[in-house]
Amino acid sequence: MTLVAVQNLQKSYPSSEGGTEMIVNVSSFNLGEKDQLALQGSSGSGKTTFLHLLAGVLLPDSGQITFSGQGLHLMDESRRDQLRLNQIGYVFQSFNLLNGFSCLENLLLTMELKGKPDPEHAGSLLQAVGLGNRINYLPYQLSIGQQQRVAVARALVNRPKLVLADEPTGNLDPENTDRSLQLLRSLCEEWGSALVLVSHDPRVIAQFEKQIDWEEINHVKRTGSDMNNFSKRVEEVS
Amino acid sequence: MSVSFKLAWRALRQNLLTTWIAIFTISLSGGLFMGAWKTKQSVKVAFAQSAGGFDAVLGARGSQLQLVLNALFHMENSPGNLAWEQYEAIQSHPGVSEAYPFALGDNYLGYRLVGTTSSLFAKHEWKPGKKYQVKSPGRIFSDSAKEALVGAQVAEEIGLKLGDKFHPYHGLEYNPDTKHEDVYLVVGILEGTGTPADQVIWIPLKGVQMMEGHDPAAANFISGVLLNLKGSSGLVLDVKYNKQGDRATLAWPVPAILSSFFNRFAWLERTVAALALLMALVGGLIILATLRSTMHERRREFAVLRCIGAGRSVVTGSIIWQSMLISLAGVIGSLLIYLFLSQVFSIVIRSQIGVNMGLPFLDNTILFTSLGILALGLISAWLPARKLYCSNLQESLNPHG
């Protein structure tokens, strides 16, 4: 059964020359429930923008995204917030844990946004990612790999239907990369969540049965100098 | 507890130093303003209530204000002397209900000796329904003996007690070289009244008039007469003494004269008000700067929260909570500083002029100042919160990756 369906999706940004620059141009993309999919593409090629579009963080210039049959373009911002809160988990490259909050509090706060904090569930999830003995640690007291595991637990804590992982292993060494990836995939499977993971690392992509080359589905033509300029701008902004 | 509140609380704890600086500055601004403003008001009220229950003072030709301050608050020098006949004349005036002559000119260790008649303590009500009370087993002095009735504050400060004897000193300022030979016996200690009466030593009028070393001619003069008037007789006496006469001054009505005294300090009120506005501005800017600096640090945190489903209201709410918590702590700090300053001012004023300011009270000025601080917090939060509300989530995250 289809969880996410994308049709004729386009997104542009104002370019430095004054016009607009198309970043995303995807004519069709489908994701089934519980699917696990890896999107491979080079840095600065619009993958993150695509994830933001799927999550309803951004609105497309044109085209449609449906989530469980509901059109994102028909939802107001507050409903899109609710959709993210209830149905989508997010894992970031830099983890983005809330610094003043302990591991447990990071998870509870996410649950509290939904109005249902459940310390037992949050604790069991931290247990599942191997941090049961560090639930009260603050993010800076954890190693990079441990922080990533908290980020994975946080993404799953509200039992989402879809987990979006944006270069989740970008800051990890190969050993932690494999461990985190395995954890993320097994937990998604266990909790029945679909997973879309974007990465530029072929080693990560190779671990997925379903792989999509981002440049193949994103019909945006760029010259070499375009890419360089674009990447520079991305670096400037981020 | 809402997520916004938790985020705000955590942000405050994470930026403890900045938070404390902001709270301290606001507390100091608010506290100083409340303290200065309320002290001014309290002093005004306390002065008006400390006039000893008199409507008017008759004294030598001169300033009405000097007469009131001298006769009722035991401050300043006497503007001059009044002939005994003047006392007799006003005492028998049909518009006068009470008249007590008084004479000044001596002190004991810097505390003024006020000569008057014993009827002041037997009949006069210094406050409606309240006469002066002598602590048991003391009594009121006899008009023809060298006896003294000691004000409560004097007794407390220099330890004069029943049965003690002392030599008065000439003049209103203490000078060890001007000791009189007369010896006075303490026959009573007055109960405290919270008025300047506590700050003097009362002796019989004749004692001052006929003190050893005083000019014998002074026996026919007094410093003034404390008066209570009937109905509108003040107007008649005002015309008689102030407008038509040229030998005495009637200081009447006492509240209006005191009010004119405080009007002299209107510039101080304006300065305090201007200072308060300036402080409010500084307080507001400090909150704004605190929020701006923490917002810069928290920008990414807010973006992450939005990505995991927090609405705009949650993140902007946390900014508003952060500001309101600083303001609320500022209000509490302001009140504490105000109470502290009030106590300090109260002690200083009590020891200097004997006026009891009473307990610091919470009224509309304090309420509005507190609400003003909270409003300031809300206004200061408005700009950053609005900016955050309108900001594009994409700008805070890696936009085109």
Q: Which residue has the higher pLDDT, A174 or B68?
A: B68
pLDDT beyond 70 at B398: no
Quick one: B300 and B363 in the same domain?
A: yes
Quick one: B233 and B108 in the same domain?
A: yes
Is residue B401 domain-resident? no
- Mean pLDDT for the stretch of residues B188-204: 93
Is residue B67 domain-resident? yes
Give a three-class secondary structure readout of chain A. Answer: CEEEEEEEEEEEEECCCCCEEEEEEEEEEEEECCCEEEEECCCCCCHHHHHHHHHCCCCCCEEEEEECCEEHHHCCHHHHHHHHHHHEEEECCCCCCCCCCCHHHHHHHHHHHHCCCCHHHHHHHHHHCCCHHHCCCCHHHCCHHHHHHHHHHHHHCCCCCEEEEECCCCCCCHHHHHHHHHHHHHHHHHHCCEEEEEECCHHHHCCCCEEEEHHHHECCCCCHHHHHHHHHHHHHHC
pLDDT mean across residues, chain B: 87
Residues on chain B touching A85 (C-beta within 8 angstroms): 308-310
Subunit contact A86:B395, Cβ cutoff 8 A: no
Which of B219, B252, B285 is the endpoint of a domain? B252
B282 at interface of A, judged by CB pairs closer than 8 A: no
Quick one: B231 and B107 in the same domain?
A: yes
Is residue B235 domain-resident? yes
Is residue B260 domain-resident? no
Quick one: B163 and B201 in the same domain?
A: yes
Residue B401 has a pLDDT of: 45
Q: What is the dihedral of CA A115, A118, A123, A129, to 10 degrees?
A: -50
Residue B397 has a pLDDT of: 58
Contact (Cβ atoms closer than 8 angstroms) between residue B401 and residue A234: yes
Subunit contact A101:B397, Cβ cutoff 8 A: no
Instruction: Please tell me the pTM assigned to this model.
Output: 0.70
Quick one: B89 and B213 in the same domain?
A: yes
Beta bridge pairs of residue B186 = B148
**Interfacial residues of A (vs B; Cβ cutoff 8 Å):** 13, 23, 43-49, 52, 55, 57-58, 77-78, 81-86, 88-90, 92-93, 96, 98-101, 109-110, 112-114, 154, 158, 166-167, 230, 233-234, 237-238
Is residue B257 domain-resident? no
Quick one: B224 and B83 in the same domain?
A: yes
**Peptide linkage before B253 cis (omega within 30 of 0):** yes
Residue B86 has a pLDDT of: 93
Give pLDDT tens digits for B17-58. Answer: 888 988 988 898 888 888 877 777 777 777 777 788 899 999
Residues on chain A touching B312 (C-beta within 8 angstroms): 77, 81
Which of B201, B228, B252 is the endpoint of a domain? B252
Q: Which of B25, B24, B32, B21 is nearest to B339 (CA)?
A: B32
Would you place residue B327 in the very low, low, confident or very high pLDDT band (cuts 50, 70, 90)?
very high
Which of B252, B284, B311 is the endpoint of a domain? B252
C-alpha to C-alpha distance for B37 and B332, rounded to whole angstroms: 17
Rounded to 5°, angle at Cα A62 from A56 and A68: 45
Give pLDDT tens digits for B341-388. Answer: 888 888 887 777 777 776 666 778 888 889 988 998 898 888 888 887
A2-95+162-237 sits in which CATH class?
Answer: alpha beta
- Mean pLDDT for the stretch of residues B331-345: 90
pLDDT along chain A (238 residues), means of 10: 92 83 92 93 86 89 93 88 90 82 92 88 88 91 88 90 89 80 89 91 90 90 53 43
- Mean pLDDT for the stretch of residues B118-132: 93
Quick one: B40 and B177 in the same domain?
A: no
Is residue B258 domain-resident? no
Count of pairs with CB atoms under 8 A, one residue in A, one in B:
102
Subunit contact B306:A85, Cβ cutoff 8 A: no
Q: What residues 297-336 of chain B have any CB closer than 8 A to a CB of chain A?
A: 300-301, 304-312, 314
Is residue B315 domain-resident? yes
Subunit contact B10:A55, Cβ cutoff 8 A: no
Quick one: B292 and B386 in the same domain?
A: yes
Quick one: B377 and B282 in the same domain?
A: yes
Give pLDDT tens digits for B126-154. Answer: 988 999 999 999 999 999 999 999 999 99
Residue A234 has a pLDDT of: 43
Quick one: B60 and B15 in the same domain?
A: no
Instruction: Give how many domains chain B has, as a whole number.
Output: 2
Domain ranges of chain A: 2-95+162-237
Q: Provide the domain limits for residue B67.
A: 56-252
Quick one: B233 and B183 in the same domain?
A: yes
Quick one: B69 and B216 in the same domain?
A: yes
